[in-house]
Structure 1
Amino acid sequence: MHLPPLSLYIHLPWCERKCPYCDFNSHEAQAIPEQAYVDALLRDIEGEAARAQGRSVHTLFIGGGTPSLFSAPAIARLMAGIAERLPLAGELEATMEANPGSAEAEKFAGFRAAGINRLSLGVQSFQDAQLQALGRVHSASQARRALDMVRAAGFDNFNIDLMHGLPGQSQQSALADLRSALACNPPHLSWYQLTIEPNTVFHKRPPTLPVEDTLADIQDAGEALLQDTGFSAYEVSAWSQPARQCRHNLNYWRFGDYLAIGAGAHGKVTHRDGRIERYAKRRQPADYLGSERGAFEASQRWLAAAELPGEYMLNTLRLAGGAPLENFERYTALPLATVQGTISQLGEQGLLAVTDGHLHCTRLGWRYLDTVVGEFFPE
């Protein structure tokens, strides 16, 4: 069995304030038990080492919550502890999510010294009224100062998270936000539409969002602006300058493997016998903190063969260039004939295409991605 590349996801679940649109496993906290949590993470990673099966970790991603609420010394101890317990590739991409608040921005140089070499800054908007509507704790001016501090701290590789389709937003306002982000010359931009998710404040009290025609106009005009500025879409909502894609996220979308540590973290691992395992860690921070080695998991299951086509396409069809057709057999251990009929059918409908041996969505297929992917799951 060909084992795919390996990544590591680390979840730090605390934030200063829960945003009304957020459905992630994040928890407001006045004080963070960072020493005890790093201890727990290092106990957790010891139980993950066997899942690596001798592979080096090529990328890691520290997500949240707001990981930048942790101190730089705590992140340094975490990074050093991981290096002691797992083989790390020499060209490791180490990303950390951060907020633009002043207190977090002051730590950027410390995070860089700790071994973090890529930041993902959660700006969301450069307009104060929109930031307030989204429940963000930073201002537009703080966002701009934080981006200056990102570069000053030595980060030449970073991402700006930016939303569109915000409450009451016009096309003009959305494009002004996008131009503000582009003026900061980021190597990478995550530009995505606000969606209302269950179990959020916005789901209970929905804001007034732009109508469908406005959303479509924003999408079309924004894509044209990004392309004119030298950015390419390599995934549904991910744009980058040439050769500046996020390697960690690419591994997700190529159906790679990823270990997972931290409260509520999800992992996916391929084993040498061809079976694919999905698992999740205890969701509540208190339960996670109280766990000993080998007792962090909340759930674990093996994917059934019937699920694999859908699982594979759910990831790879998000990529603009798709993935080599041969990777389907390499990463699922199923014959290509399993999906050939569905591929042909969707191709006739103008939703899928094969170019230079790569299976990918057409532009129309990308617009109806959920429908396309659904065809590969069992009914």
Structure 2
Amino acid sequence: MRIIPIAQESPRRRPFEDRPKRGALLDALPPLSLYIHVPWCVRKCPYCDFNSHQQIGEIPEADYLEALAADLEQTLPLIWGRQIHTIFIGGGTPSLLSGEAIDRLLAMVRSYLSLWPDAEITLEANPGAVEANRFKSYAASGINRVSLGIQSFHDKHLKSLGRVHDASEANHAIELALKNFKRVNLDLMFGLPGQTITEAADDARQALAFGTEHLSMYQLTIEPNTVFAKYPPITPDDDIVIDMELTLEQLASDAGLGRYEVSAFAKTGALARHNVNYWEFGDYLGIGPGAHGKLSFADRIERFAKLRQPESWIKQAKLRDNSHLAEHRKLSPEELPFEFMLNALRLREGVDVALYTERTGQHLDSIRGKLLHAMDKGLLSLNPGRLQATPLGWRFLNDLQSLFL
């Protein structure tokens, strides 16, 4: 993985080698990704806690694109000289934007930023907001990967989730995506209200039958400040959900998709590069309402968040005085271990121990006690060269991650 040197790279240090405990001091900057948030959707799903807003009438594409450009301009001084490895256009429902809007958006990004020639550019799409001509336009604009929010192929479950599409529309959307894009991900959910193991397995089989390179399978969780939190549905008990998860993993494996992250399955060479950069504690610039970002500098790591309400974000971003920022702060040395482990331990193979120092600026010895405690509990691998959850640690990942708070 290519990194941008700040100063002459020092020799890779060994775990637990003596080094003063201090805040972040990085020898090199990590890869940089770009996240672009599209906040609008046809209807807010009852389980969704993302920054999405039901849009009545036409989406204000011109105002949105102007504000995006202003948002990006105000961040440029922080990332001069850095290249963008991946772009992810998420939401909300980005596929509500016209082909012309996506073309203008990517042209704007290219005019401001340096993209890797083979940059992965992903767009999220809702099967209920998909058109053949629009997909063709997206591909012509430079989108080279699409992520479809299928969730289920059973109409009764789609209805319980408040989705705006049905099973036939899901199948049609997948067929359109495969005609226009070589790289396609399908999102599924399991542990749905009233769902059986047989039904969850049937969803997986139908998804796998399309032969896409990547599949994301998430357990439904009840998040605060959602309709489901206020009116909780009856979902399968924990034992059934565990059986579902094991069944889905086996079906994916039989189809040639390995589970490389908690919710991600891919064919060889088809990992979602944008998401892997998150999990390896890389940097990402977030633009758009409610977008978050994390940027590393030689002596610190900072987090950013933008105003959530689309109208407020558009108005303030255009002022170009950084008033569109909802948060901008430096991460403290005490926060970095948890921030790193929260991401890295989601990867089934974990990460090389050297990555901890490379990405946080802290020596591994500064968390030695927590590492040994996790190993003693059987949650962290004893492999001295990797930071990797054991099978037990992966099963109780929240418990393992919390040890680094």
TM-score range, shorter chain: over 0.9
Q: Deviations over 1:144-199 (max 9, x none)?
A: 1111111212x110100000000000101110011011011110011010011111
1:78 aligns with 2:80: no
Letter in 2 for 1:101: G
Q: Does the 8 Å contact 2:130/2:173 carry over to 1?
A: no
The match for 1:339 among 364, 367, 371 is 367
> Which residue of structure 1 lines up, in the alignment, with residue 45 of structure 2?
19
The match for 2:310 among 268, 273, 285 is 285
Unaligned segments of structure 1, at least 5 residues: none
User: Distance between the aligned counterparts of 1:295 and 1:204, measured in 2?
Assistant: 33
State how many pairs are aligned. Answer: 375
User: Distance between the aligned counterparts of 2:287 and 2:222, measured in 1?
Assistant: 27
Q: Deviations over 1:234-285 (max 9, x none)?
A: 1110110111000000000000000010000000000122x11001011100
> Which residue of structure 2 lines up, in the alignment, with residue 305 of structure 1?
333
> Which residue of structure 2 lines up, in the alignment, with residue 32 of structure 1?
59
User: Distance between the aligned counterparts of 1:44 and 1:219, measured in 2?
Assistant: 40
Q: Does the 8 Å contact 1:102/1:142 carry over to 2?
A: no
1:252 aligns with 2:278: yes
Q: Deviations over 1:218-239 (max 9, x none)?
A: 1111111111111111111011
> Which residue of structure 1 lines up, in the alignment, with residue 376 of structure 2?
348
1:242 aligns with 2:242: no
The match for 1:180 among 206, 223, 240 is 206
> Which residue of structure 1 lines up, in the alignment, with residue 356 of structure 2?
328
Q: Does the 8 Å contact 1:98/1:104 carry over to 2?
A: no
User: Distance between the aligned counterparts of 1:369 and 1:156, measured in 2?
Assistant: 33
User: How far did 1:51 drift?
Assistant: 2.1
User: How far did 1:340 drift?
Assistant: 1.8
Q: Deviations over 1:28-58 (max 9, x none)?
A: 0122101110110011111121222411000
SS in structure 2 of the partner of residue 243 of structure 1? coil
Q: Does the 8 Å contact 2:303/2:328 carry over to 1?
A: yes
> Which residue of structure 1 lines up, in the alignment, with residue 171 of structure 2?
144
SS in structure 2 of the partner of residue 97 of structure 1? strand
User: How far did 1:345 drift?
Assistant: 1.9
User: Distance between the aligned counterparts of 2:357 and 2:327, measured in 1?
Assistant: 27
User: How far did 1:104 drift?
Assistant: 4.0
Letter in 2 for 1:40: A
> Which residue of structure 2 lines up, in the alignment, with residue 359 of structure 1?
387
RCO comparison, higher one (Cα < 8 Å, 6+): 2
User: Distance between the aligned counterparts of 2:108 and 2:101, measured in 1?
Assistant: 11
The 5 Å alignment of 1:86-235 reads 86-101=113-128, 103-153=130-180, 155-235=181-261
User: Distance between the aligned counterparts of 1:239 and 1:120, measured in 2?
Assistant: 13
Distance 1:178-1:296 versus aligned 2 partners, 3 A rule: same
User: Distance between the aligned counterparts of 1:171 and 1:3, measured in 2?
Assistant: 45
> Which residue of structure 1 lines up, in the alignment, with residue 92 of structure 2?
65
Distance 1:150-1:286 versus aligned 2 partners, 3 A rule: same
Q: Percent identity?
A: 50
The match for 1:368 among 360, 372, 396 is 396
> Which residue of structure 2 lines up, in the alignment, with residue 47 of structure 1?
74
User: Distance between the aligned counterparts of 2:130 and 2:183, measured in 1?
Assistant: 21
Q: Does the 8 Å contact 2:293/2:305 carry over to 1?
A: yes
Letter in 2 for 1:286: E
User: Distance between the aligned counterparts of 2:30 and 2:123, measured in 1?
Assistant: 23
User: Mean Cα displacement is larger for which, 288-297 or 155-164?
Assistant: 288-297
The match for 2:345 among 317, 334, 344 is 317
Q: Does the 8 Å contact 2:380/2:388 carry over to 1?
A: yes
1:296 aligns with 2:324: yes
Unaligned segments of structure 2, at least 5 residues: 1-25
User: Distance between the aligned counterparts of 2:383 and 2:78, measured in 1?
Assistant: 34
User: Mean Cα displacement is larger for which, 312-321 or 338-347?
Assistant: 338-347
